[in-house]
């Protein structure tokens, strides 16, 4: 003869146990989510800061490049490099008028020769900008290529992480990279 034992569970303690387990699981999930967010932030924030710095450097390149036509025209007309330090010269505005959110001024000058030699220098501000660009500059130097076309050589004193490849290679190797335009 077999005996059957009947086990009766009370519903209240069972529900309380389930609720307690659910709370613990939720806390573990929350801790995992916080850890994942921390890891993502640790990777994303430096990448975003580099992106911001590159866009700030791009402003300097853009403002400097905007003066190329005026420098070329002035050089072609007068045979000298325009010096805009104190006044506008031949289509190139005075240096203090060429500025941006991150660029203090864009000056033109240099020593003219048959090979070019005119320079355009964009100087970054000393505050309110990424550390690697504080007070740094980007220099475009005009040169003559075969066939009478003009080339531009780029160099920069800025942190190489923020400088475009063409300009960065020229700056770190001491050689110049030319771009036409």
- Please state, for a pLDDT cut of 70, what percent of the chain lies above it: 77
Quick one: pLDDT at residue 74?
A: 87
* Structural domain includes residue 117: yes
* Structural domain includes residue 59: yes
Quick one: pLDDT at residue 53?
A: 94
* Structural domain includes residue 132: yes
* Structural domain includes residue 96: yes
CATH assignment of the domain containing 81: 3.30.700.10
* Structural domain includes residue 2: no
* Structural domain includes residue 61: yes
Range(s) of the domain holding residue 95? 52-180
Angle at 79 between CA 74 and CA 84, to 5 degrees: 45
What residues contact residue 88 under an 8 Å CB cut-off, 6+ apart? 94, 97
Q: Which residue has the higher pLDDT, 5 or 137?
A: 137
The winner for highest mean pLDDT among 3-17, 44-58, 147-161 is 44-58
* Structural domain includes residue 39: no
Q: Check whether 67 has a pLDDT greater than 80.
A: yes
Quick one: pLDDT at residue 50?
A: 92
Cα 85 from Cα 63, distance rounded (Å):
15
Backbone angles phi, psi at 176, to 5 degrees: -110, 145
Q: Check whether 114 has a pLDDT greater than 70.
A: no
* Structural domain includes residue 98: yes
**Per-residue pLDDT tens for 1-23?**
677 776 655 555 666 656 655 55
Q: What global pTM score does this model have?
A: 0.73
Q: Check whether 39 has a pLDDT greater than 90.
A: yes
How many domains would you assign to the chain? 1
């Amino acid at each position: 003869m077999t005996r059957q034992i009947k086990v009766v569970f009370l519903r209240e303690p069972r529900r309380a146990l389930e609720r307690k387990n659910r709370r613990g699981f939720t806390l573990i999930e929350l801790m995992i989510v916080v850890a994942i967010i921390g890891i993502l932030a640790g990777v994303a924030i430096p990448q975003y800061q580099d992106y911001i710095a590159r866009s700030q450097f791009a402003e300097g390149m853009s403002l400097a490049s905007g003066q190329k036509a005026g420098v070329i025209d002035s050089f072609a007309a007068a045979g000298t490099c325009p010096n805009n330090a104190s006044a506008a010269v031949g289509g190139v505005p005075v240096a203090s008028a060429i500025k941006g959110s991150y660029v203090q001024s864009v000056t033109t000058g240099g020593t003219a020769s048959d090979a070019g030699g005119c320079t355009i220098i964009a100087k970054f501000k000393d505050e309110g900008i990424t550390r690697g660009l504080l007070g740094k500059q980007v220099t475009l130097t005009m040169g003559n290529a075969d066939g009478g076309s003009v080339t531009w050589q780029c160099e920069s004193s800025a942190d190489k992480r923020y400088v475009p490849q063409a300009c960065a290679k020229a700056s770190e190797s001491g050689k110049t990279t030319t771009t036409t335009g």
